[in-house]
Amino acid sequence: MIKMSEDKFMKASITLLFAYGLFNITNFFYHFFSARLLGPSQYSIVATLFSLVYLASIGSGAIQSTAAKFTAEFKMKNKNKIAFFFQRSFRKISLYSLAALVFYILISPLIATFLKIPLSSTLILGLAVIPLMLLPLSRGILQGLQRFGALGANTIIEGIVKLGLALFFINLGFGASGTIAAVALSMVVALLLVFPLLKFRKSEKYSKTKIALNKKELYRFSMLAFVALFLLTALYNIDIFLVKHFFSAEQAGYYAVLSLLGKIIFFGATSFGAVMFPKVVEFETQNKNSKALFKKTIIFTFVVSLLILLIYWLLPRQIISAVFGPAYLNIANLLARFGFFMMLLSLAYICVLHNLAKGKSKFIWILVMAVAAEILLITLFHASLTEIVNILIALSALTLVLLSR
């Protein structure tokens, strides 16, 4: 029984590692061509707004985690609840997403002013607000049902569309605004294509009679997941905003490239976390111990992260020169160091997901203190990019130690 679970875990992990790997490759080339074709100053606009997407996707992550958790529970207890859960959630999230879009439009001038970027580019990003909230609901249900192949396929489609549209818009001369539009439109396409993947919609009719859902637990977990993912995402995105604010546009562009390469390590961990999460929920529902699964996920994440880090350490100049060109070689000496930060954060991410799957909440205070410390320290100490990276390493190491206790 355990052996079968381990085999399924490996197969699912490889499936999502491949799918997320392809998505990250398309994501990488999206930034690769943006940086090369737009130049440091224009690319800093793209990178900054892309980081805003990461922060906004925290809500997406919370929605997906919540959908995955409750779908996994319904799968074990009462599968008929899944279709009803999707129907009710889709209606409510649609209303919330419209309200969020209006709010975003209202605060766009403030965002553009603070980040020193064009208002037009900021407004275009608003196209992503609605799919950012609706797409993760469907993906979360696929994840909770452990239909990792379908989940991976939809993710790959989003990446391919984003890359293709970005190249198309850049060639038409739309610059940073067109590149950002590609991000939003790719999410719209992925949203439209995810519905056919929800096979339960074909085999089950929505019940006209209300099915009891534990709304209190649903909202409690949603808020917990949102706060946890918000704080975790802030740890590897706030630095970009602060660098954009305190440094020149050129330096911010250099740092954006450094952050992009570092995130490759972090996103390698997401496949293992995505597989682990619903399985831990399943174990908890059956009163089984998930410690062995957690340790295995940590080991896989560490090995994959370490392999990428070694490449960064051995060939930093070659990687940066080949991918982004000689204009970005100033940051070659920081690549392995930043990669080490992302490896530590990847392991912390797995710890956070494990705590979420088990319904724990005390770990939130660790993340709160880490984010507050990052903002304070970078605000006080930003003499160079090296100083920024050193702060991130120290904070991520301490955060990992505290989360793993």
**In this predicted model, which residue has the larger pLDDT, 215 or 392?**
392
Which range in 67-71, 300-304, 395-399 is most confidently predicted, on average pLDDT?
Answer: 395-399
Decide: helix, strand or coil at residue 361.
Answer: coil
Residue 219 lies in a domain: yes
Q: Specify the number of domains making up the chain.
A: 1
Q: Is 34's pLDDT higher than 70?
A: yes
Got the DSSP string for 278-339? HHHHHHHHTT---HHHHHHHHHHHHHHHHHHHHHHHHSHHHHHHHHH-GGGGGGGGGHHHHH
In single-letter form, the type of residue at position 137 comes to L
> Look-up: residue for tokens 């009710």?
88
Q: Is 397's pLDDT higher than 80?
A: yes
pLDDT mean over 116-141: 91
pTM of the model: 0.77
What's the pLDDT tens digit per position in 62-100?
898 889 888 888 887 766 678 878 888 888 999 999 999
Residue 371 lies in a domain: yes
Count of residues for the chain? 405
pLDDT at 309: 94
pLDDT at 4: 41
Other Cβ atoms closer than 10 A to 1? 6
- Range from 13-27, 102-116, 330-344 carrying the lowest mean pLDDT: 13-27
In single-letter form, the type of residue at position 128 comes to A
Q: Is 143's pLDDT higher than 80?
A: yes
Q: Is 289's pLDDT higher than 60?
A: yes
Residue 4 lies in a domain: no
Question: What pLDDT band is residue 13 in, cutting at 50, 70 and 90?
Answer: confident
Domain of residue 370: give its range. 11-403
Question: What pLDDT band is residue 342 in, cutting at 50, 70 and 90?
Answer: very high
pLDDT at 1: 43
Question: What pLDDT band is residue 307 in, cutting at 50, 70 and 90?
Answer: very high
Residue 1 lies in a domain: no
Could you tell me what percent of the chain has a pLDDT over 90?
38
State the number of CA atoms in the 13 A half-sphere of 76 facing the CB: 17
What's the pLDDT tens digit per position in 251-284?
888 888 888 888 888 877 777 888 888 888 888 7
pLDDT at 7: 65
Distances (CA, A) of 114 to 117, 129, 186, 230: 8, 20, 27, 20
What's the pLDDT tens digit per position in 152-197?
999 999 999 999 999 999 999 898 889 999 999 999 999 999 988 8
Residue 259 lies in a domain: yes
pLDDT at 271: 79
pLDDT at 305: 92
pLDDT at 202: 46
pLDDT mean over 210-214: 59
Residue 111 lies in a domain: yes
pLDDT mean over 341-350: 94
Residue 234 lies in a domain: yes
Residue 256 lies in a domain: yes
pLDDT at 211: 56
